[in-house]
Amino acid sequence: MCAVVIGAATLVTTTLFPAGGLVSVNFGYRAQLTRLWELGSWTPYDNYVKYQRELSLTAYGQKEDGSGGSQVFLLPPNTTCGDASSVDIEVAPGACGVSIAPFTDTFFPSSYSYSKENFGWGQESWSFASKPVIDNYSGVIYQLRGISTGQVNTNSVSQGLVGQMEPVDMGVGINDTSSRDSLGNYIEGYSASVSSGFPGLGQYELQREIVVDSVGGSIGKDDGKKGQVSVTIPMNPVFL
């Protein structure tokens, strides 16, 4: 089955983006299949399937007046056996040719990133997953979150350079104490590139390893500044 999805007719509703600003959405219902092969047969002894709904969003940051964009989403790691913080998302696709049923599910973020060049709009990218669904499983499933970590470009912070966004403007709340080593130093590396020709320009960027307490609420338009950040949010299901 194949259908064309019309963006202007597709609605995504979530408290994470109360004023809109969404650029794209990707969604699917993935079957994680394990075939139990046995000797003497090309037919599986049985098929074991775990389903999980996956979704990703790309969105603009806040407008210059502070409206729009995402809300700040806290990422406390689990200290007890229970679900981590989550968000409900409803997707109503505007399909052409074949009808696609709308759906609503509870999603747990698994990654966040932000990117902005010196001019133009900054954009956030979020990845989410629902709880796994297993046929005939009657127990309780909890989604536990670990400590979220990532990398952020920090040229302005480390070198006194202008033109670099502050982490909070990129939608990242950093745990400053946990992001330092035992001597109190930040953990940083760098990358650089340049090519020949005219004008033969390149760039040099510092990346800081960080522990993250929250994501979201980034700035969209702030001409003259650029930023880049990526965060991994570890999630693990527990079956009881």
- Grade residue 199 by pLDDT with cuts at 50, 70 and 90: confident
* pLDDT exceeds cutoff 50 at 29: yes
Work out the pLDDT band at 157, boundaries 50, 70, 90.
very low
Each residue's pLDDT tens digit, 181-198? 999 999 988 888 888 888
Q: Residue 238 CB: number of other CB atoms within 10 A?
A: 14
pTM of the predicted protein model: 0.89
Residue 1: predicted pLDDT: 65
Position 159 pLDDT exceeds 50? no
Secondary structure element (H or E) that encloses residue 159, with its range:
helix 155-159
Rounded CA-CA distance 229/209 in Å is: 10
pLDDT in tens, 44-58: 999 989 999 999 999
Q: How do the domains of the chain map onto residue ranges?
A: 4-239
**Residue 91 pLDDT > 80:** yes
How confident is the model at residue 160, as a pLDDT? 45
Contacts of 69 (CB under 8 A, 6+ apart): 17, 19, 21, 59, 60, 61, 62, 63, 124, 216, 217, 218, 219, 220
Please, which residues have CB within 8 angstroms of residue 16's CB and are 6 or more apart in sequence?
70, 71, 73, 87, 89, 126, 216
What is the mean pLDDT of the segment spanning 166-195? 91
- 222 falls in which pLDDT band (50, 70, 90)? confident
- What CA–CA distance (Å, rounded) separates 50 from 34? 9
Q: What is the residue-averaged pLDDT of the chain? A: 90
Summarised one tens digit per residue, pLDDT across range 121-138 is: 999 999 999 999 988 888
pLDDT digits (tens, 9 = 90+) for 57-82: 999 999 988 888 999 999 999 999 99
